Structure 1
Amino acid sequence: MSDAGTLTRADLAESLHRQVGLSRADSARLVEQILESLCGALAKGENVKISGFGTFVLRDKGERIGRNPKTGVEVPIAPRRVLTFRASQMMRDRIVDTST
């Protein structure tokens, strides 16, 4: 794993290389194809569910009034689309089990 406990594309490709036996180039290509498919589906407005892992959900947030915390001045916040991730119950259980 890379520095600071961050899992990178290269780490995923290296893991595929070691565990599955694909060449490093094929492993890197496969990781890129998976991420491209995931990004493409999200760009089309589709939610992405990976069984046992979680769901990437797109939500539309309406316009609302926010407040500048320094000045207290109210400002409108434009409507926007946000991406959220909801971990599956299996993933939540695994995270809780390893953190104790």
Structure 2
Amino acid sequence: MNKAELVDAVAAKTGQTKAATAVLLDGFIEAVTESLVKSESVQLIGFGTFEVTERAAREGRNPATGAALRIAAKKVVKFKPGKALTEAIAGE
């Protein structure tokens, strides 16, 4: 599902216009992004938690040449699904 399909689905479920739903979705994405940039987690009870974690620097290999290379440390976003989402996916 891409963003346009998500907007269509949410608009159909809520009875709102696609334009209003798109503005709401953009606002949600912006708010989550701003929180993650500040290294704050975003917890949506029943759905899941988005959080920023540090990935340590490590050694890697160039697959074409086999030469060793250094992969720098960086911040990454992780998502941990909530209990309700996990159960819904499992069909419980």
Decide: shared fold, TM above 0.5: yes
2:76 match: 82
- Aligned ranges for residues 14-33 of structure 1 at < 5 Å? 14-33=8-27
| Backbone CA RMSD of aligned residues | 1.9
Using the TM superposition, give the Cα deviation of residue 30 of structure 1 relative to its aligned residue in structure 2, in angstroms: 0.8
Using the TM superposition, give the Cα deviation of residue 10 of structure 1 relative to its aligned residue in structure 2, in angstroms: 1.9
- Aligned ranges for residues 18-97 of structure 1 at < 5 Å? 18-97=12-91
**SS class of match (1:46):** coil
Segments of structure 1 that go 5 or more residues without pairing to the other structure are 1-6
**SS class of match (1:65):** strand
User: TM (normalized to structure 1)?
Assistant: 0.76
Count of residue correspondences:
92
Segments of structure 2 that go 5 or more residues without pairing to the other structure are none
Using the aligned pairs only, state the percent identity: 30
Question: In the alignment, is the contact (CA less than 8 A) between 2:39 and 2:51 conserved in 1?
Answer: no
Alignment partners' CA distance in 1, 2:69 and 2:9: 47
- One-letter amino acid of the structure 2 residue matched with residue 82 of structure 1: V
Q: Which has the higher contact order (CA 8 A, sep 6+)?
A: 2
User: TM (normalized to structure 2)?
Assistant: 0.82
